[in-house]
Amino acid sequence: MTYCVGLKLNDGLVFMSDTRTNAGLDNFSVTKKMFTWSVPGERAITIMTAGNLATTQALVSVLEERSKAPSDRNPTILEQPTMFQVARLVGSTLKEVIAESGGDGQDASSAFRASVILGGQIKGGAPTLFLIYPEGNFIEVTDDAPFFQIGETKYGKPILVRAYDPDMSFDDAIRLLLVSFDSTIKANLSVGLPIDFHTYKLDSFEASEQSRIEVDDPYFLSISEGWGEALRAALGHLPRFRSK
């Protein structure tokens, strides 16, 4: 599967994705699922993908116009006037790619399906996130639903629902997301380290560098090991049940 989360904070956006891809349990490898485009001072756009790897790679290739000679490429994603228009472009491209593989987006076998989290900011607009479905349609983040997950979303959701706060700092958000990823990785073999992440600072119109947390990252290990202890302590602070 995959696990990706896009989070909207008052300070900007946070993106995190795992890197495991697999075809069966006996064939897995590491692949990047996070892609960023930017025009410094004008726009920064990130997408994260979940689903069929051929579909998601084709999506990114088409968005980057890799069918043209390198000198002729001028990705249309960099020419859309608003994030809403970028979402429409990514959605229609995704639907087309799925249709080429095996029928129409809506009817295509689940084998070719994929979904996307898109986020970023274009000068004149606010930073925002979209969740784009294989059918090409999409929903936008709101204050009531301030984050999107794709892939194996269930194990890591309760901690996000409980601990998310729009005022949190990027560093606190990354710590929260790593706990959410750790719970997911512990429960689903198709989600695995390394973990990629990056942050987009409000009104910076610049893509920060993407960072990668490797399998043996000492900070991640300290989170993973510390969380069991922290959870048991948290449980211990809840009122005790008294059986009658």
The residues of the shown chain that bind a second copy, judged by CB under 8 A, are: 154-159, 161-163, 165, 170-172, 174-176, 178-179, 183, 186-187, 199, 211, 219, 222-223, 226-228, 230-235, 237-244
d(C-alpha 13, C-alpha 25), whole Å: 33
Q: Which is nearer to a second copy, 47 or 176 (CB)?
A: 176
Please report how close the Cβ of residue 155 comes to a second copy at its closest, in angstroms.
Answer: 5
Check: CB of residue 87 under 8 Å from CB of residue 132.
yes
Please provide the DSSP assignment of 115-154 as one string. Answer: EEEEEEEETTS--EEEEE-TTS-EEE--SSS-EEEEES-S
Q: Which is nearer to a second copy, 71 or 162 (CB)?
A: 162
Alpha-carbon distances of 163 from 24, 58, 173, 176, 186, rounded to whole Å = 34, 36, 9, 7, 20
Q: Which is nearer to a second copy, 83 or 170 (CB)?
A: 170
Please report how close the Cβ of residue 226 comes to a second copy at its closest, in angstroms.
Answer: 5
CA atoms within 13 Å, Cβ hemisphere of 52 = 20
Please report how close the Cβ of residue 210 comes to a second copy at its closest, in angstroms.
Answer: 12
Q: Which of 190, 187, 198, 192 is nearest to 220 (CA)?
A: 192
Q: Which is nearer to a second copy, 9 or 90 (CB)?
A: 9
How many CB atoms are located within 10 Å of the residue 10 CB?
Answer: 11
d(C-alpha 131, C-alpha 29), whole Å: 25
Q: Which is nearer to a second copy, 80 or 208 (CB)?
A: 208
Q: Which is nearer to a second copy, 78 or 163 (CB)?
A: 163
Tokens matching residue 143? 């204050």
Please report how close the Cβ of residue 180 comes to a second copy at its closest, in angstroms.
Answer: 9
Alpha-carbon distances of 94 from 32, 49, 75, 104, 204, rounded to whole Å = 18, 10, 15, 11, 28
Please report how close the Cβ of residue 229 comes to a second copy at its closest, in angstroms.
Answer: 9
Q: What angle do CA 131, 136, 141 make, to 5 degrees?
A: 20
Q: Which is nearer to a second copy, 128 or 188 (CB)?
A: 188
Please report how close the Cβ of residue 13 comes to a second copy at its closest, in angstroms.
Answer: 14
Please report how close the Cβ of residue 125 comes to a second copy at its closest, in angstroms.
Answer: 25
